[in-house]
Structure 1
Amino acid sequence: MLKLSVADDANVQPLASLNDHRMSHPPPSPIYTLRGAGGPLNSLHFRCYGEDAPLLFSGSGKGCIHIWNLNTRRTNKVIEGHSGSSIIWVCTKRSKDTLISQGRDMQICLWDLGEGRCDLLDSVWTGSVGFCQCSMLETSPISSLLAFAGQQTEEIKIIELPSKIQICTLMPVAKVGMVMCINLFQPDSCPGPLLLAGYEEGSLLLWDVTQQSILSQVKAHPDPVMCLTFDPTRLRGISGSSEKNLSSWKLDEKNNLQLQGGVTLANPGVSQLCIREDGKLLASAGWDSRVRVFGWKKLRPLAVLQYHTDMVLSVAFSDHQDPRQRLMAAGSKDQRISLWSLYNES
């Protein structure tokens, strides 16, 4: 188990190279593993704030949502709500006990988890046949914006929840292919929300949601953009594809996307990227069954985690209020979830 403050990471010998040939310290092991999901783990989401037991939600390729109690390390509940179709995204609202799930059945489902319930509140039909995960932005304690891929391959729709009122449809004029990944956020510098989208053609587009217009566009990858994550505090982001390179980029004061280089990995293919809430760590879920951990500030390689026996599909950091309890979870096609304690404050 590796527990070290990132503030002290100068004392940690990083990888000899980004090709992962050797490390000066043996890679850490997971603190424990969750089994029994019954399928590939496409999505993970923590809910560890408040007085209740810390929870981890997982969505599997077999159409099940597991709610894991991290104290007992067992499932509290299993939800089967997408007719056996693969679950590709799960998320909860901070304001109340609402779970949102997205399935390959073209449905987004809203669940009431209050007082031990597991009741279906509502659903939204997307019409999308792709794998693009939803993105949610909570705008008030009672309302949220939800962005998702629409019926047309390049289409992104944004609705308000819980009313389901459609806010806008974002459709690029240029041919950039299917929308692959999206991130909805609200920067301090703008009066309204912005949306980052990665497309099949390899481009990143920054949308002004209010004006329904493109603010900036860059070619980030030669292949489809498989995943992206964005740090709204530092206005920096990073994206991955089926190739070996992670592409780093930022927003300038005029909301222009600027490429900043990136990282070359040993093996191609990244399923998901996640930045820890404190802005110190970046984790990547690799097709080569490895999780790679970087310092987010300089993209310095810190660790290569080799535990899973098949491609890693999802990675998430916990939202524990106590930094000493922070965890990272990785979900794999091998049907296991590994839990890690990495670079926590002493």
Structure 2
Amino acid sequence: MSRPPPSPIFTLRGAGGPLNTLHFSCRGGDTPLLFSGSGKGAVHIWNLNTRRPEKIVEGHSGSSVIWVSTLQSTDTLISQGRDMQVCLWDLSEGRSEVVDSVWTGSVGFCQCSLLETSPGTFLLAFAGQQTEEIKIIELPCKISVCTLVPDAKLGMVMCIKLWQPVSGPGPLLLAGYEDGSLLLWDVSQRSKLSHAKAHPEPVMCLTWDTDRLKGVSGSSEKKLASWMMDTHKNLQLQDCVTLVNPGVSQLCIREDGKLLASAGWDHRVRVFGWKKLRPLAVLQYHTDMVLSVAFCDHQDPRQRLLAAGSKDQRISLWSLYNEGASAEPLSSGRI
């Protein structure tokens, strides 16, 4: 018999704006942290033990923060705003200083993607000033690596994912475009490897499993599209999941590869078994669009929470730990 869907174990309030982006950092000690970026330009650093903001930083002139991440440890924060700036923050020893910034020139909502290539060295990919271009630079030196522009008119870059394959030379990049296309790029060769039309509408979000070489994307329609990379580095469309209501803001795969979460325009979070895209639960709490989802990277599986940020200015935290989660549905509700 199916169990009822869970309720949030707690919620975080006081962000003061829509929650566009979330990022966990739980490996830097005993204090699990959740970083959130709001539509009012603030980055809140939440202490999940006290369930209160440990620090609030503002560096985008009140412009919406659309992406946050951390470099190696929680001492270095990186944030992206609609002011066309990516800011690097020094948070060590109680500081909250912008120590460097990158001007993107992009007025869109495409979130940056970060990849560590060696200790202390990172690649940063972001949508450029021109509609279809993606720029990649090396941090902290800010040397330009390449600019990727498709040879066909695909519209605006909507979402990107930079990743390093286990076998093979340089990094690869997945990009979703306004016309519903997915492109796979070889960063080292500055060349396109594969093109697949995943959606009739703009690709709003995508995520990628580097172990299974499988990804999933969402759009404004009632569908999640899954796809994989074959041995020849071609993108192959796979199964689709039909949703009850249209619109997906973000997708996230749990680190253990068992669960996929989606942020829905219909105020709901949906949880799937990632291996077969089997619906497991519909999480209902928010009163407006869910804009972001993130899984905790805590070493203890029982502490690996799911966070969801909404336009209603609240963050909900959910505990989905369950040894049988990949085989046993959490909810009988329609996905």
- What TM-score does the superposition give when structure 2 sets the normalisation length? 0.95
2:9 aligns to what?
Answer: 31
Q: SS at the partner of 1:115?
A: helix
- What TM-score does the superposition give when structure 1 sets the normalisation length? 0.92
Displaced runs of 4 or more, over 4 A: none
Distance 1:304 1:231 in 2: 22
Structure of higher RCO (CA pairs closer than 8 Å, 6+ residues apart): 1
Q: SS at the partner of 2:93?
A: helix
Q: Work out whether 1:214 is the aligned partner of 2:192.
A: yes
1:286 aligns to what?
Answer: 264
The answer to whether the 8 Å contact 1:323/1:344 transfers is: no
Counterpart code for 1:182: I
2:126 aligns to what?
Answer: 148
Q: Please give the residue correspondences for 1:301-316 in structure 2 after superposition, counting only pairs within 5 Å.
A: 301-316=279-294
Q: SS at the partner of 1:176?
A: coil
Counterpart code for 2:23: H
The answer to whether the 8 Å contact 1:32/1:339 transfers is: yes
Counterpart code for 2:222: K
The answer to whether the 8 Å contact 1:237/1:249 transfers is: yes
Structure 2 stretches lacking a partner, 5+ long:
325-335
Q: Please give the residue correspondences for 1:255-334 in structure 2 after superposition, counting only pairs within 5 Å.
A: 255-334=233-312
Distance 1:245 1:73 in 2: 35
Q: Percent identity?
A: 80
Q: Work out whether 1:91 is the aligned partner of 2:78.
A: no
Q: SS at the partner of 2:152?
A: coil
1:117 aligns to what?
Answer: 95
The answer to whether the 8 Å contact 1:183/1:197 transfers is: yes
Distance 2:313 2:44 in 1: 12
Distance 1:255 1:159 in 2: 24
Q: SS at the partner of 1:293?
A: strand
The answer to whether the 8 Å contact 1:324/1:345 transfers is: no
Q: Please give the residue correspondences for 1:94-243 in structure 2 after superposition, counting only pairs within 5 Å.
A: 94=72, 97-243=75-221
Distance 1:344 1:45 in 2: 22
> In the TM superposition, what is the alpha-carbon distance from 1:95 to its structure 2 partner?
5.0
The answer to whether the 8 Å contact 2:28/2:73 transfers is: no
Structure 1 stretches lacking a partner, 5+ long:
1-12, 14-23
Deviations 1:91-122 (A, max 9, x none): 00125621000000000000011122111110
Counterpart code for 2:72: R
Counterpart code for 1:104: R
- What is the Cα-based RMSD across aligned positions, in Å? 1.1
